[in-house]
Structure 1
């Protein structure tokens, strides 16, 4: 090798080392400039992951406790301790449980207390059941006028039957005519209008 070639190789080596050190200095400046942001990002990610894990564990624990409480209530429906525990763990599920028991035992007091329930559908269903069990025309009519009432048509049929028993044929016809032809109760309404109400 000649001296010229040796000097060329040394220059190339120095240029490569200079580039390496230059990149190291740029990286160091970048890290110093954004160190707090990077540390904050890592901390936030760790906290989010840890929070999610803790939330899921707590949710699973609550779900297990609710399931055990429901099993206890199935075995002993009159257990006040289990019912209070269910009410504290899941108020909406407690309302569903109370509704099922009130319907099974025709408990008007409980049905009336559930009319303002926060559980989806329970308030409306409890209103209907209380009106139906007490054969209260005003409550049945108010329920039938409620927007989104699930048993609207059934309430109309029940009102018509009550009115038929009171010989108020015109009023019974009026309630039966409110049932649409697409309703599953349309054949019942038609039959009552033809055969039951004359």
Structure 2
């Protein structure tokens, strides 16, 4: 190697070291400038993750406790303390339990109380169970997202047929959804009962 090449190589090495030190100084300034923000961000992330873990553990504990209380209620349905504890742990599960007991015992008053439940499904099911005549079944079926909409319409049509109101029954049956699993029954009713 010639002297000139050696000098150029040394210059390049010094330039690269100079650039390295320049970047190190810039990084150091950046870290000093934003040190508190970076520390706060790391602490916030750790707190959020920790709070999320604690919340999930707490929820799992509630679910386990609610399931244990439900098992206790299944063995002794008259246990008022367990029922109260279930309401505190899981209000929706409490309402499901009350609904199952109301259906099993044909308790109309309990069903009336469940019409205002926070569990939307229980509210809907209670309203269906309380609909006892053709008009109330049609009213139930007219509500958007009624779970037993088509079944309520068929039941209403059958009641109307029993009252010899074939035209009204035909109108009710025409409201049954085309995708309903009750379409075969609707066809039979239209063919034999409504004509």
TM-score using structure 1 length: 0.78
CA–CA separation in structure 2 for the residues paired with 1:152 and 1:28: 69
Is 1:150 aligned to residue 147 of structure 2? yes
Counterpart of 2:144 in 1: which secondary structure? coil
Unaligned ranges ≥5, structure 2:
1-13
- 1:55-70 correspondence runs (5 A): 55-70=55-70
Aligned residue-pair number:
183
- 28 and 174 in structure 1: CA distance in 2 versus 1, 3 angstrom threshold: closer
How much does 1:24 deviate? 6.8
Counterpart of 2:147 in 1: which secondary structure? coil
How much does 1:55 deviate? 1.1
Is 1:91 aligned to residue 88 of structure 2? no
CA–CA separation in structure 2 for the residues paired with 1:36 and 1:136: 70
TM-score using structure 2 length: 0.79
How much does 1:183 deviate? 2.0
CA–CA separation in structure 2 for the residues paired with 1:139 and 1:38: 63
Give the one of 171, 174, 179 matched to 2:171. Answer: 174
- 162 and 25 in structure 1: CA distance in 2 versus 1, 3 angstrom threshold: closer
- 1:28-39 correspondence runs (5 A): 28-39=28-39
- 1:1-150 correspondence runs (5 A): 28-131=28-131, 135-150=132-147
Are 2:128 and 2:148, in contact at CA under 8 Å, matched by a contact in 1?
yes
CA–CA separation in structure 2 for the residues paired with 1:65 and 1:81: 14
CA–CA separation in structure 1 for the residues paired with 2:66 and 2:194: 50
- 31 and 102 in structure 1: CA distance in 2 versus 1, 3 angstrom threshold: same
- 197 and 29 in structure 1: CA distance in 2 versus 1, 3 angstrom threshold: closer
Structure 2 equivalent of residue 10 of structure 1: none
CA–CA separation in structure 2 for the residues paired with 1:155 and 1:143: 7
- 178 and 21 in structure 1: CA distance in 2 versus 1, 3 angstrom threshold: closer
How much does 1:72 deviate? 0.9
Out of 18-27 and 99-108, give the one that drifted further.
Answer: 18-27
RMSD over aligned CA atoms reads 2.7
Unaligned ranges ≥5, structure 1:
1-14
- 32 and 163 in structure 1: CA distance in 2 versus 1, 3 angstrom threshold: same
CA–CA separation in structure 2 for the residues paired with 1:57 and 1:116: 31
Structure 1 equivalent of residue 160 of structure 2: 163
